[in-house]
Amino acid sequence: MKYLIISFIMLSAFPTCCNEDSVEVERILLSKEEDNLINYTKDEVVKFKHSNGFTFDVLVTNNDYSFRRSFDESCAECCGGEYKSLQERFVSLTSNYPNLTMTLSLSNNNFSYSEHKSINFSLNSYSTNLFYDNKNEFICDSLVVCHDQIKINNTNYFNVLEKKLDSRFHVNDTIDFYPQKLFYNTTKGIIQIKMSNNESYFIDN
């Protein structure tokens, strides 16, 4: 009898609400202006060139849209809580040689660590965020250089962002060859990747 009473108390302490279905209260789409921040289509082939002279193809392998649930409370998902569906976009580009995997993701959420939304760019294990404001204009600050005009591979590009890439993992101090900077604009997308050994990959127009 003693054990039955203890078991009843323990069950009472954890409400059995996890069988309740969560309820979608709002569905928020990416605006057309936000969507235009990434200018790639699936199966598109982008010509790139190495600073040493050889050219190679980069294929857009994914251009997918999905929805992610956003709950106001951490326990709401398992307790029949209300949520908003936020549209996201994920674009990936790959090349066989050199072996590059680049991704661009766009989310209708600014998350908790920033007051602004952003495009997340990653190249293998390196990544960075390109933040933009409510007018869908990129933010220039101490971490990003905004070029009104810049010449890359003898071609002039306008409204280009230059941003340092950071590793998501610990990097051995002896490694001296890694992606260092991204050059990006909304017209051409990824314009240049500058490496730590002064080599670079850039689009070949």
Residue-wise pLDDT tens for the chain (205 aa)?
A: 555 444 444 445 555 556 677 888 888 899 999 999 999 999 999 999 999 999 999 999 999 999 988 877 655 455 667 888 989 999 999 999 999 999 999 987 654 455 778 999 999 889 999 999 889 999 998 999 999 999 999 999 999 999 999 986 645 544 567 899 999 999 999 999 999 999 999 999 7
Q: Is residue 58 part of a domain?
A: yes
Q: Tell me which residue of 33, 103, 120, 99 sits closest to 64, measured CA to CA.
A: 103
- Helices (H) and strands (E) in the chain — how many of each? 2, 13
Q: Is residue 106 part of a domain?
A: yes
Range(s) of the domain holding residue 194: 36-69+86-203
Q: Is residue 48 part of a domain?
A: yes
Query: pTM to 2 decimals?
Result: 0.82
Q: Is residue 13 part of a domain?
A: no
Pairing label, strands 45-50, 55-71: antiparallel
* Token representation of residue 54: 């050889």
Largest pairwise CA distance in the chain: 85
State how many domains the chain has.
Answer: 1
Q: Is residue 75 part of a domain?
A: no
Q: Is residue 78 part of a domain?
A: no
